[in-house]
Amino acid sequence: MGKFEGKVVIITGAAGGIGQVTAKKLAEQGAKLALVDLKLEAVQQVMAELGLNDSNAIALQANVAKEEEVKAYVDATVAKFGRIDGFFNNAGIEGITANVEDYPTETFEMVLNVNVKGVFFGLKYVVPVMKKQGYGSIVNTSSGAGLIGSPGFVGYNSSKHAVIGMTRVVALETAPHGVRVNAVAPGVINTRMMRQIEKNTVPEDAEGAKQAFSAAVPMGRYGEAEEVANVALFLLSDDASYVTQSIYTVDGGQMNQ
């Protein structure tokens, strides 16, 4: 039996690089999954690729920046499976690269709506379910950008700092109820988001931007989505039963230089 046999886990951003790999690993360990993303067809495709069906998974469409849609995916998960044991609060967007005076207000608001409100709404509606159960593990996706400053990323960095703040607050609020709340803070990971950040940073030489990002990592390379998923699975599992309010960097040593 897998470590997640019979456990119910929600993953937001489930059609993205890290979300999809995490879903695969959880499914292999016997989890029942609620897969949430902005496009229903994308999560339905993930289900098909992983060989999941209506008995062990549900595909859900939601814009995490809209409270009523977050409540709906939580309610649908409980209606389907009766409980929520794990929550990978993972959906996020990168925004653009620009200095603060050139950063469009509407883009700043969009990034905060998804990356901050989306995480907040997820916590707001999942926590009561877990508190009632007396059990649960939540992993929020922050970023190495939530721990440092990065010129040109005022929207993204601000949002990921906020995720760390929410993680620490809600971990303290829920600890007496048997609920753990932690965060992963990936560095440069080989996903679609980094392809876009490379293009945003140096439009005329995205490959050069990638090389520069890699050179800034002590391990000298990008991380892979699987390496983030492995840490998320540990935090979601009972192996981390005495771990809460922690921020786990997955960054090849970059943030601790």
Mean pLDDT confidence for 60-69 = 98
Q: CA separation (Å) from 182 to 12, 203, 212?
A: 16, 35, 30
pLDDT tens for each residue of 112-155 = 999 999 999 999 999 999 999 999 999 999 999 999 998 999 99
Q: Given a cut of 70, is residue 25 above it in pLDDT?
A: yes
Partnered with residue 248 across adjacent β-strands are 184
HSE on the CB side for 148, CA within 13 Å? Answer: 15
Provide the token pair at 154: 């005022």
Residue 200, pLDDT > 90, answer no
Please, is 58 exposed, middle or buried when counting C-beta atoms within 10 Å of its C-beta (0-12, 13-18, 19+)?
Answer: buried
pLDDT at 140: 98
Considering the chain, what is the average pLDDT of its residues?
Answer: 94
Please report, rounded to a whole number, the percentage of residues in the chain having pLDDT higher than 70: 99
pLDDT band at 1 (very low <50, low <70, confident <90, very high): low
Please give the pLDDT value at position 189.
Answer: 87
Higher-pLDDT residue of 254, 227: 227
Contacts of 215 (CB under 8 A, 6+ apart): none
DSSP 223: B
pLDDT of 179 over the 80 cut:
yes
Residue 231 has pLDDT above 80, yes or no: yes
Catalytic residue list contains 156: yes
Q: Catalytic pick from 73, 103, 156, 248?
A: 156
pLDDT band, very low/low/confident/very high, at 203 (cuts 50, 70, 90):
confident
Distance CA 158, CA 149 (A): 9
Residue type, position 142, single letter: S
User: Residue 182 above 70 pLDDT?
Assistant: yes
Q: Say what the pTM is.
A: 0.94
Beta-carbon-side half-sphere exposure of residue 100 (alpha carbons within 13 Å): 6
Mean pLDDT, range 38-63, rounded to an integer: 96
H helices of the chain, in order, are: 17-28, 40-49, 67-81, 105-112, 118-133, 154-174, 192-201, 206-215, 225-236
Q: What is the mean pLDDT of residues 209-220?
A: 84
Q: Which residues share a beta bridge with 32? A: 8
Question: Which domains does the chain possess?
Answer: 8-187+223-246 (3.40.50.720)
Residue in the structure block whose two tokens are 């005329």:
204
Q: Which residues pair with 13 in a beta bridge?
A: none
Q: For the residues 3-28, what does the mean pLDDT come to?
A: 97
| Ordered DSSP codes for 98-163 | B-GGGS-HHHHHHHHIIIIIHHHHHHHHHHHHHHHHT-EEEEEE--GGGTS--TTBHHHHHHHHHH
Q: What is the CA radius of gyration of the chain?
A: 17
Residue 196 pLDDT: 80
Quote the pLDDT of residue 257: 62
**76-86: average pLDDT:** 98
pLDDT tier at 205 (50, 70, 90 boundaries)?
confident
